[in-house]
A and B are shown apart, each in its own frame.
Chain A
Amino acid sequence: MRKLALSRREFIAGLGAGGGTLLLYALMGGTGSTEALLRPPGAQDENAFLARCLRCQACVRACLTACLEPAPVEFGASKLWTPRFVPRLAKCEFELCDRACAKACPVNALQDIPVDRIKLGIAQIDKPKCLAWEQGLLCLVCQECCTYLAITQDRKSRPHVDANKCVGCGACENICIADSAAIRVLSLSSASSPPGSTS
């Protein structure tokens, strides 16, 4: 019968190759966009999620509104084909769909957490692009579509986001009539340290 065990040299080489792959990943991850991706509901911590997610696309297939897409290579090799929530594709209907993505996940990388604990991100207004803020037009489409009443208007009819009420469902970004959305859902990590603080 053929011997199966790896020799010590092969074992150490295996560990070395694993470390090398990690290093390569880290380097390639650094070349990608550093923008934190929006994740489907139930993905708790980004690092834990990356360790768990198989990139099997079950959640992308299961999504009610088709708001998920496999992350393209621009976001780095370590995030390639992980599910990415793109509000411009569709709003996340996590209250309607009964967390279809979490239920489809074979390894619980997405956990089926209660609706009231879901917060996908926080919407932020990019004022130079916003018709109401920049051109003074009467556009409050984002406020009208927000079912969480997280967008309010001031006396000049300009939208403001209440970060506490916003759950990041993406309805506002999806419906924004500017060419590239003037209101964007940012992930919780990047929303906490915004470059130009808005709203």
Chain B
Amino acid sequence: MQARSKRLRLLRRSVQIAFLSGFIFLAWVAVYPPSAKIPENLFLRSDPLSGALWFLSHPGGWVLALWPAWVILGLALLSGRFFCAWICPLGTCFDLLPSVGRSRRRRTQPRSIGGSRIEPDTRRFRVKYFLLLVLCSALVAGLNMAWLYDPLVIANQAAIFAFMGAIPWVFGGLAVMAMLYRPRFWCQELCPAGAIQSLVAMLGRKLPARLSPLALIKEDACNGCGVCARACPFEISDIAVSKPGGRVVLPDCALCGDCAAACPRSGTLRLASFGKTLVGGASGRHRKAESLEEGCACGN
């Protein structure tokens, strides 16, 4: 693994652990008396799923209380489901869990790499939209299944059950699946909150990269080697075959930047914030050879 890849991993883990600690702290201090200074249910109110679905069960008065969720959804318009890779406490737990038995290698490998066509098997990633539909139709009929499907509710339940000495069954089951099967299986295949953000991300796919807090930018220099697809912890092979020449918007991409860090050709794939490169770009091994192409990279 290259140095920049390690640096990025360290950065992302630090951000994730900071948010997870914040989450556990807020759950811990959410006892009587309610604090006037600490927003104790901030994480629950920033849940994009309840933000998007709340109006289905609440006829009115839902706009103001859930402003953090609207912020997250607004950012998802520009940056896709970055929440999943950087903030979500449930996703962080899955990333930190050790694997048991089976290798942590993903199953969704590109069928072939190196110039030829790559046909990823990501059809099962569509289950989460299906689940979102189930959740919506149940909610319209007056039944809230967030306790089973909503990542922040599951995480909050788990924290509070653990404080009470009870067993958080939903979280425990998902954690076991993450350890035995694949770490991010929940996020990619089932999570309806991820599905909402994916849908919102597709709405904003035409927006330019310089407006985006986190964007994946692919230049024309890509030779289709497929290293990016193998590096992806979210198992998205499409990154290797997506059209180069600007911002790459993939519905399932969580903007973790591992692909950009792994890309062997500099100036090809990079993670940028408002057009400014965070990872990738000119710092690779092939710096000298690619420096000409680097000059015309957009917004940099």
Chain A interface residues toward B at CB < 8 A: 1-2, 4, 6, 10-11, 13-15, 17-19, 21-22, 25, 47-48, 50-58, 60-64, 70, 78, 80-81, 97-98, 100, 103-108
CB proximity of B130 to chain A, nearest CB, Å: 5
Listed from nearest, the 10 A-B pairs whose CB atoms lie closest are: A18-B137, A14-B133, A55-B147, A106-B44, A57-B160, A64-B32, A51-B57, A54-B146, A106-B41, A18-B134
Q: Which residue of B lies closest to A63 (CB)?
A: B32
CB proximity of B286 to chain A, nearest CB, Å: 27
Chain A residues contacting B199 (CB-CB under 8 Å) are 4
CB-contact partner of A2 in B50, B122, B129, B161, under 8 A: B122
CB <8 Å contact, A104 and B133: no
CB <8 Å contact, A4 and B61: no
CB <8 Å contact, B32 and A2: no
Number of interface residues of B (CB under 8 A): 57
CB-contact partner of B144 in A14, A54, A58, A103, under 8 A: A54
CB <8 Å contact, A4 and B198: yes
CB <8 Å contact, A58 and B41: yes
CB proximity of B113 to chain A, nearest CB, Å: 18
CB proximity of A170 to chain B, nearest CB, Å: 17
Given contacts A4-B199, A63-B32, A100-B32, contact A51 B143 (CB under 8 A): yes
Chain A residues contacting B65 (CB-CB under 8 Å) are 106-108
Given contacts A15-B133, A61-B160, contact A52 B144 (CB under 8 A): yes
Chain B interface residues toward A at CB < 8 A: 27, 30-34, 40-41, 44-45, 47, 50, 54, 57-58, 61-62, 65-66, 122, 126, 129-130, 133-139, 141-147, 150, 152-153, 156-157, 160-161, 163-164, 166, 198-199, 202, 205, 238, 242-243, 249-251
Chain B residues contacting A81 (CB-CB under 8 Å) are 147, 157
CB proximity of B233 to chain A, nearest CB, Å: 18
CB <8 Å contact, B138 and A18: yes
CB <8 Å contact, A4 and B251: yes
Q: Which residue of A lies closest to B205 (CB)?
A: A1
Given contacts A18-B133, A81-B157, contact A2 B142 (CB under 8 A): no
CB-contact partner of B58 in A25, A70, A98, A108, under 8 A: A108
CB proximity of B50 to chain A, nearest CB, Å: 6
CB <8 Å contact, B30 and A104: yes
CB <8 Å contact, A60 and B160: yes
14 more contacts with CB within 8 A, not counting A1-B205, A58-B40, A104-B34, are A17-B130, A18-B136, A51-B57, A55-B147, A60-B160, A61-B27, A61-B30, A61-B31, A62-B34, A70-B161, A98-B33, A104-B41, A107-B54, A108-B65
Give the CA-CA distance A190 to B27 in the complex, in Å: 34
Chain B residues contacting A50 (CB-CB under 8 Å) are 142-144
Given contacts A17-B134, A61-B30, contact A107 B58 (CB under 8 A): yes
Give the CA-CA distance A150 to B32 in the complex, in Å: 28
16 chain-A/chain-B pairs, Cβ below 8 angstroms: A2-B122, A4-B198, A4-B199, A6-B130, A11-B133, A25-B138, A50-B142, A51-B57, A51-B139, A61-B31, A62-B40, A104-B40, A106-B66, A107-B65, A108-B61, A108-B62
